[in-house]
Amino acid sequence: MDLRVNFSGRALAYTPEEVEAVVRAMGDADPLTQGKYLAAFEAAFCRFQGSPHAFAFCNGTCALEVTASLCCFAPGDEIIIPSHTFTSSAYPFARKGAAIRWADIDLATRVVTAETIAACITPRTKAVVVVHLYGYVADMPAIMQLARKHNLLVIEDACQAIGADIDGQKAGSFGDFGVFSFHSHKNLTTLGEGGMLTVKNPAYATIIPMLRHNGHTAFDFERPNNNRDYWVPAMGNVDFPELYGEALWPANYCLGEVECALGAVQLGRVTQINAEKRARALAFMDALADFPQLVFHRVEHTRHNYHLLAARFDGPVELRDDFIRRMFYEHGVKCVVQYYPLNRYDFYTKLGFGTADCPNADAFFDHMISFPFQHSLTEQEYAIMLEATRTVLTGQA
């Protein structure tokens, strides 16, 4: 088997301007963390998102960990999370003591809805995680209306949906928290890892820097000699950040200056990257319109950034497996299956969260195909993948 189109873990080819930004930061950043490039990246992200506060993290999972801390779960509190998502969307909240209730997805859009969330709400529900999976923004106006009715915290996991929007409002800017990932596979990627957390509440914004950076804070007294002796008793204090009277444990989740320098520059072309991926996705779907067994989610506007290109195989799962097998072994095109329903994993079963009533999530996963769709996919690779798809589907007819 000759691999011709890989399902690459690297989404982008960096531009000369982005490479130059990295080299410049390597030379002039002092220190190499928590410096001027961090401040510039966070400020640029606030402008891009229309959010008042943004905080860079070493990855999206760490941003979710801090979000879970800020939720301040009490014993018995529940959180609603889609069963069809990546595990990082869930385990930070279980770690902080929340009981998970799994929400189903809409079969067409592959994301949760106000209706699937409402079916999971109980008197113990404190928060809901809305995952904009594959790059498509869930119906946030309806979800926010439901959340306000029930006084729920809303965490938008926009890790795959940077730049996507509903009527101009960006994914991650509707809820109480917006979480983003700049992993190697995303439409914005900062040298392999990176993340961002956006919030509206100034009470959160005040303590997130402490949670992110080891509990560092200023001393609350004047230093000797009218504060001139800056080194006495030390450069700074370390304490527990407090939220609503609860002391929270800090950690070290900082993102380096080189990564921040790259992110600030690359942010300027996210809209272009999204548009190019969307155009290519639509062209791929349209070219396969005469094969109804592949059911895509076709969205022509900016509500979808097509981070991934996934289809539901409308037929027996054995034929789905035959399709993936032949694509790989006969044509060298590596398709994959993603997002095993979380309740099926041993990890969540052992935690007591192995039960879910999510028929749509199960049906989609059991028949899904994810095509190679990195932005750096060449025209030749795209053509090979399209021709191979047509050939295999024709042979199955």
pLDDT of residue 20: 98
Taking residues 86-110, report their average pLDDT. Answer: 98
pLDDT of residue 294: 98
pLDDT of residue 105: 98
Q: List the structure tokens of 88.
A: 């990082």
Is the confidence at residue 30, as pLDDT, over 90? yes
Coarse DSSP helix, strand, coil percentages of the chain, rounded to the nearest 5 percent: 40, 20, 45
Average pLDDT, the chain: 97
User: In the beta sheet, which residues pair with residue 304?
Assistant: 136
Q: What CATH architecture is 16-268?
A: 3-Layer(aba) Sandwich (3.40)
The alpha carbon of 110 is separated from its chain's Cα centroid by a whole number of angstroms, namely 15
- Collapsing DSSP to helix, strand or coil, 156 comes out as strand
pLDDT band at 125 (very low <50, low <70, confident <90, very high): very high
Tally of CA atoms within 13 A in the half-sphere of 162 that contains its CB: 29
Domain boundaries of the chain, sorted by first residue? 16-268, 270-396
Summarize pLDDT for 147-203 with one digit per residue, the tens: 999 999 999 999 999 999 999 999 999 999 999 999 999 999 999 999 999 999 999
Taking residues 68-86, report their average pLDDT. Answer: 98
Summarize pLDDT for 195-226 with one digit per residue, the tens: 999 999 999 999 999 999 999 998 888 988 99
The DSSP string of 9-36 is S---PPPHHHHHHHHHHHHH-SSSBSSH
pLDDT of residue 397: 72
Q: Give me the CATH topology for the region 270-396.
A: Aspartate Aminotransferase, domain 1 (3.90.1150)
- What phi, psi does 94 have (nearest 5°)? -65, -40
pLDDT of residue 1: 72
pLDDT of residue 117: 98
**Lookup result for tokens 């917006």:** 178
Name which of 144-148, 213-217, 282-286 the model is least confident about. 213-217
